[in-house]
Amino acid sequence: MNIQNTIETKVKEGFLALYHTEIPTVEFQATRREFEGDITVVVFPMLRYKKGNPVQLGEDLGKYLVENLAEITSYNVVKGFLNLVIEDAFYVNFFHTIFPNATYGFTPVNENEDAVLVEYSSPNTNKPLHLGHVRNNLLGYSVAEIIKASGKKVYKTQIINDRGIHICKSMLAWDKYGNGETPASTGLKGDKLVGNYYVKFDLEYKKEIAQLVLEGKTEEEAKKQAPLILEAQQMLLQWEAGDPQVVALWKTMNSWVYSGFDVTYKNLGVDFDTLYYESNTYLLGKDSIEEGLKSEVFYQKKDGSVWCDLTADGLDEKLVLRSDGTAVYMTQDLGTAIQRTKDLPDVGGMVYTVGNEQDYHFKVLFLILKKLGYSWAESLFHLSYGMVDLPSGKMKSREGTVVDADDLMVEMTTTAKDISEELGKLDGYSDAEKAELYQTIGLGALKYFILKVDPKKRILFDPKSSVDFQGNTGPFIQYTYARIQSIVRKANFDFASPVAIELHVKEKELLKQLALFPETIQQAAANYSPAVIANYTYDLVKEFNSFYQNVPILGEEDQNKKIFRVQLSKKVADTIKKAFSLLGIRVPERM
């Protein structure tokens, strides 16, 4: 339904007819609740093209629209705002077109347009996924789904950080203290087992540092000279040299971690189309340095190191190759971006889901890629997000005080179980049905709590308050969905065909909210913000609950009205389900 486009054309036409002047755009906003109207034209910007009284301007245009546009039945002007009333028949006809449309709001993917690659998760293989990874995964997955729903082809990917000193720390600790234990022998998930050895390394390393300090070394000296860190550094050199024993251990322990990650991803409800591994990408980017030197994007210092001078762009000078010819992270990221466009030639843009501590890194990366002349570098976006805190404070991986993603999901399910049992509405559910419902509510609460917040904001996550059946929460929206399903199940009559009715004001408000769904998806995609979808869904649910409380549905005596209200309720439920699918949240058929 795009009544807005129709009105815009007529306003421009009216302005030209009345004042012999063209205006380039028309500004709209939703009509404020205290005034009569369905859509508001903002008159103030038009004063640039026609000096005068904004109220008189509004009156002239309102009169013109009523006379020349059948859909506008009346108008009123408040200061510089022209409030327009749209005829009921327009909304009823609009509803008849969307009711049978199963994909309403979603734009079919245009295969001829550039695809977008969305990177998220990107964990280290020395520990399990934690609360920070949860926000990253939920954001990346949701943004990918939203971009897809807006009509673009999407590839979901991650780069797995499977090499480096931190990986060697876990390997060395297992080698020294592990006594050959495996996920199978301990019953632990592989990522948990490997993570325990990362913590073990830190524990033993700290003991060695303390001992060296007692022997008279400074703290800094002790950190560098402790035998464990020297062994870990030696192990990294052996890995880089392809030492068969070290590489075999690395492959074994990584395979344990990947199995563990797979379980977490499945429970979290996220997936990937392609995977990249740092062990394959860390040597990429060297050839782009050569190209950059030739085109004078980079310059070489006397010591042989290669730099990019970004001072003219308000940034600093950036090292892209060390004097010994080894790469830095920037080199690797340049190479990986270029490699991805070779692997997936239809990719014309990329979204990197990475915490806000890397804001500067991505500014530099994107700028260098532009300077190197890649057209797709204009369509790169850093989906930067804030930390997630818990009421209990900060988390540290190496000390083992991290909030584990698996534990968090179990806690959310348990919290949902406790609250649901208190409410006591689960008569007739089998144990298996209850378990599935608790998981749906618990994970829905977690995902909604995280995704309803603008990505850039820091979050204080409180599991208990997120599982609330009132207010702007996942369970509140899920409960409304289940309530509508109950209405639909009880409607023992045919409600498939369109009916003609006069609209109740509450029906009209609900239809106006439904009409916003397609543009909400486009807006969320343009802003890379699941919060736009989450808060739209909450507004839709509030509007439905107001309708539900004020208008009889199954108790309505007029058959046509009853049919229309069941249809309207069903469409709201379908829209909730579709909106929540973009957030990776399931909805229960009954609650």
Q: How many residues does the chain have?
A: 591
HEC profile for 252-303?
HHHHHHHHHHHHHHHHHCCCCCEEEEHHHHCCCCHHHHHHHHHCCCCEECCC
Dihedral sign (CA 86, 91, 93, 98): positive
Q: Compute CA distances 173 → 110, 251, 486, 496, whole Å.
A: 51, 16, 56, 65
DSSP state of 414: H
Rounded (5°) CA angle 524-526-529: 40
Instruction: Note the pLDDT tens digit of each residue in 129-186.
Output: 988 899 999 999 999 999 999 999 999 999 999 999 999 999 999 999 999 999 999 9
Spatial contact of 482 and 589, defined as CB atoms under 8 Å apart: yes
Whether the per-residue pLDDT at 212 is higher than 80: the answer is yes
pLDDT (mean) for 3-28: 94
At residue 391 the predicted structure's pLDDT band, cuts being 50, 70 and 90, is confident
Structure tokens at 333: 């990221």
Name the helix (H) or strand (E) containing 75: strand 72-78
Tokens of 10: 């007529």
Band (pLDDT 50/70/90 cuts) for residue 96 is very high
Return the amino acid letter for 314.
G
Kindly indicate the confidence band of residue 469, based on its pLDDT and cuts at 50, 70 and 90.
Answer: confident
Which residues are CB-contacts of 6 (< 8 A; sequence separation ≥ 6)? Answer: 69, 71
Give yes or no for residue 398 having a pLDDT over 70: no
State the Cα–Cα distance between residues 584 and 138, nearest whole angstrom.
8
Contact 441, 466 (CB under 8 A): no
Q: What are the beta bridge partners of residue 79?
A: none
| Separation CA 442–CA 462 (nearest Å) | 12
Say what the pLDDT of residue 392 is: 66
> What pLDDT score does 2 carry?
73
Q: What pLDDT does residue 1 have?
A: 53
pLDDT mean across residues, the chain: 93
102-114: average pLDDT: 95
Q: Measured between alpha carbons, how far is 28 from 522 in angstroms, rounded to an integer?
A: 17
**74-88, 223-237, 323-337, 543-557: which has the minimum mean pLDDT?**
323-337
Contact 337, 350 (CB under 8 A): yes
pTM: predicted TM-score of the whole model, two decimal places: 0.91
Helix or strand holding residue 117 (H, E): strand 115-119
All structural domains of the chain? 3-86 (3.30.1360.70), 164-267 (no CATH), 405-582 (1.10.730.10)
Rg, C-alpha atoms of the chain: 29
Cα 278 to the center of its chain, rounded Å: 24
Residue 396 confidence (pLDDT) above 50? no
Determine the pLDDT at residue 448.
96
- Write down the residue that tokens 């943004």 correspond to: 143
Which pLDDT tens digit goes with each residue over 33-75? 899 999 999 999 999 999 999 999 999 999 999 999 999 999 9
Angle at alpha carbon of residue 416, lines to 411 and 418, rounded to 5°:
95
Angle of helix 359-371 relative to helix 329-343, nearest 10 degrees, comes to 60
Q: How many angstroms separate the CA atoms of 528 and 146, rounded?
A: 8
pLDDT exceeds cutoff 90 at 325: no
Contacts of 410-415 with CB under 8 Å at 24 or more apart are 411/463, 412/442, 412/443, 412/445, 412/446, 412/463, 412/466, 412/467, 413/438, 413/439, 413/442, 413/443, 414/438, 414/442, 415/442, 415/445, 415/463, 415/464, 415/467
Residue carrying the six token digits 């916003």: 516
Q: Angle formed by the axes of helices 3-19 and 54-68, to 10°? A: 120
Task: Give the per-residue pLDDT at 403.
Answer: 81
At 401 the pLDDT is 56
Share of the chain above pLDDT 90, in %: 85
One-letter identity of residue 512: K
Distance separating alpha carbons of residues 491 and 561, to the nearest angstrom:
13
